[in-house]
A and B are shown apart, each in its own frame.
Chain A
């Protein structure tokens, strides 16, 4: 119907490698982009700041983690710590008078540097052992941040982020914050799209799939794992800073604790490893589903007069939410992104499904 491949002929190799070769996809992206840009006028400011903004920021974080987990195939249980390093470095930088644009890059670089130094040792082990050593990074960072007053501002302290200024202009509206987050999200998304079709992306997948086969075609696994760690840490660090400056406006160690790491990990896995659109879905699912479930169950119980107790009402949404995650992963272990792709592949040839096996 609208989504179809027939009649699309590429006359050059670069056209064959275009980001969105199918017209329907191009239109969909254009419409979504227009919506994203016009969102401050289309949705209420409450929706913008409590749903759209966090969704975009966490999607960016999920994309960053997906780079290391989905593409390079290396476990990372300490991604929140990496985001925290970037956030703290940026906040300290701006508090010392460094302009925000430079401070945030420095924040990202700090996260990348610590990430690389750490992965130098961590990457000597693989699989579950790597997962555990990244968890160690998380706990080390938690401890260092909360026990070094120079970083956290003291035990139990909340470090206020200075007012956001971009290119000398003060930004203090929800719209401004939203655009900051959106701009960073778009940059990272475009980078990941390019990664999919570039030699770097292929080398990372080679390392993920079979490192001995990667070596045989000349890929230095260790080097590319380091590159993946550094890049993903940079994205994480900047995202952490964006999260603070656009959403929290103050930084505390709990914002980047281990449960946050697990949450980002859940976004990536539920969304789908190495799936870009999946990271968008995954972040939406993990962020919004608990609230939606809560509202839905309260509504249903009121509507049907079930008379559920307050405790049941508090716990049931969590149970259903957990069950939903399991259900989705049972239906499609490769996540929501793959689910979307299945539907898309079906529609691509509809109604001539037999042309695809």
Chain B
């Protein structure tokens, strides 16, 4: 187990090195921070001096080496745009993104799994067909359209929910949470639905397909022949086996939700990491972009490891095999 973990960590390191190396090569094409940081009528000498103080006049390889060296000592650098430590900026934004993603994931699992099971148990029923059709819309609708439509209906016309922001947040041990205030919860509704919609339909369709598959397998037929209660067969025997790919997909989806909540965060002005990244891109804020990509790479590696661990909990066979 420990050896597996160590090799995973080594892989993680390689992935992150590769991600940042590619990122550094690409930074040269996303824009010039000096142009963004200079005065409108700055003289060429002023710009050259700024380029030098930022160390942007050196070869990319040297800049990259320095970046890796700094990161190894735990220093993510200072943002060009805000002149604040990148670690602080990411730390400020992490709670907003994580809370949004957690709620969206819970939402999509708690709705997606039961509906998927129901559709699988009665695949020819009217309800199942309706759900299938509606889910196609959910899976193909762009996030910003969903977001704007929800804002229009629930914020502008009905005025039930706020159209943007996080509401009032409370600081709990260095973590800003919106879970403790009424306006915090109200603000979560629209963005989390927007973010969850795609994942929800994905999970639902996956559960349905897997369940139909499992329900037609031999051991379910034998279980039925033994006269076991339908409830036990459907939820204990069948669902448990159908959930394996769902765990994988959910895990990877959490990763991409965090990494790509950018659109939802922009539409709802959700002060999370996606919004930070978008601003960094438009300002060519290299330290923030690099740190963010590093973080996302790290995140995917961690999630993959967590998924592997969860497998062993759901599937007892894996435990014995590994041990």
Q: Do A and B bind each other?
A: no
